[in-house]
Amino acid sequence: MISVKGLKKHYRVSKRPPGLKAALTALFRRSYTEVKAVDGITFDIAPGERVGFLGPNGAGKTTTLKVLAGLLHPSSGEVQVDGHVPKRREDAFLKKIMLVMGQKQQLLWDLPPSETFELNRAIYEVPRAQFKETISELTKLLELAELLGKPTRQLSLGERMKCELAAALVHRPKVLFLDEPTIGLDVSMQTVMRDFIRRYNERYGATLILTSHYMDDVAALCPRVVVIDKGQLSYDGGLDDLVRRVRPEKRVVFHLSKAVDRADLEPLGQVVSLAPAKAVLQVAQDRVAATVSRALSSLPVKDLTVENPPLEEVMSELFARSRAAREEGQADGESEEGGGEGDWE
């Protein structure tokens, strides 16, 4: 469904120091620097896949999505979405995709969301019967009935985001690019949005690329992740496999009936945190059973859970390894930097 080969997007940006003299000089003679927003990434996505597209701020995620949606032209490389070249922006291509950005809106500010839905129906030439069926389903699943007649400016952020997503799905796109779709939403509303996105993917077989700084979004929706940093590919594979390879340890969370000393916990594993009624240990996977057995016999344990390390920590360590490998390569004068699956190992 999506094929990206050697994608690069570089910008030529003028640069000057602060001050009046520098500003006047820049009027006649400017200095430029090249910004490599995306620098040679390659990946493929099959029809119906849900893929998390991750990276730190400035990694090139939104730039890549805009190239895939046809909003930006690549500097070089080949990009195809369902057989179309996005930069050509053919009508057939535009009817298959939708880019939803959490910090941008398409709803008409002074009009109710229902007017935007009607506008999108006309733009995408959606048959009236299909439109009514889709809106009825979206209204039920997203609980929009009381919102459709209110002016957009009177809606809360969470209500607007639900309507934004509904407006994006009026034409039932085959490919969804979601850029921070739950930004600014409370926990309950994030859950509603995740559940709805998963249902849409499963019902219509839509292909989904999601960028988000909320790792709960990624864990709930995306079995596979593509990670980029400084415009280069750091990892492409299963989310569970990434966690095992970067952080093979487990977190054992003990809920205690009374407080214990840190000294009582240290023989069992690395103490991550300790509170009067809760202790968290980091333990090697092959030591989990032994640790739990010893803890149950020596500590006032009321309950316990065994978990993977937080995904935020996994991603932070992955970024650190990727950058360290790139800097080492530069120091050694190597020409290949980042850009390959598993190159952070």
State pLDDT tens for residues 234-277: 899 999 899 888 888 899 999 999 989 999 899 999 999 999 89
Closest C-alpha to 298, from 250, 249, 260, 255: 260
Tokens of 245: 């390879």
What's the CA angle centered on 222, arms 41 and 205, to 5 degrees?
95
Query: Do the bridges between strand 278-283 and strand 250-256 make them parallel or antiparallel, or are there none, so unpaired?
Result: antiparallel
- State the average pLDDT for the chain: 88
* Tokens 């190992």 found at: 345
CATH superfamily for 2-6+43-242 is P-loop containing nucleotide triphosphate hydrolases (3.40.50.300)
Does domain 248-307 sit in CATH 3.20.110.10?
no
The span from the CA of 16 to the CA of 287, in Å, is 57
Are the beta carbons of 252 and 245 closer than 8 angstroms?
no
DSSP state of 309: P
pLDDT > 90? residue 57: no
Bridge partners of residue 209, in order along the sequence = 51, 177
Q: How is the chain split into domains, by residue range? A: 2-6+43-242, 248-307
The tens digit of pLDDT for each residue in 142-175 reads 889 999 999 999 998 888 888 988 999 999 999 9
pLDDT > 50? residue 342: no
pTM for the predicted model, two decimal places: 0.80
What percent of the chain shows pLDDT beyond 90? 52
The tens digit of pLDDT for each residue in 187-224 reads 888 888 888 899 999 989 999 999 988 888 899 999 99
The span from the CA of 180 to the CA of 136, in Å, is 26
The span from the CA of 102 to the CA of 152, in Å, is 15
The span from the CA of 263 to the CA of 260, in Å, is 8
Q: What burial class does residue 163 get, using C-beta atoms within 10 Å of its C-beta: 0-12 exposed, 13-18 middle, 19+ buried?
A: buried
The tens digit of pLDDT for each residue in 90-101 reads 999 999 999 988
The span from the CA of 160 to the CA of 147, in Å, is 9
* Tokens 């190597």 found at: 334
The span from the CA of 212 to the CA of 194, in Å, is 12
Q: Is 83 helix (H, G, I), strand (E, B) or coil?
A: coil
Closest C-alpha to 124, from 105, 148, 96, 86: 96
The tens digit of pLDDT for each residue in 128-145 reads 999 999 999 889 888 899
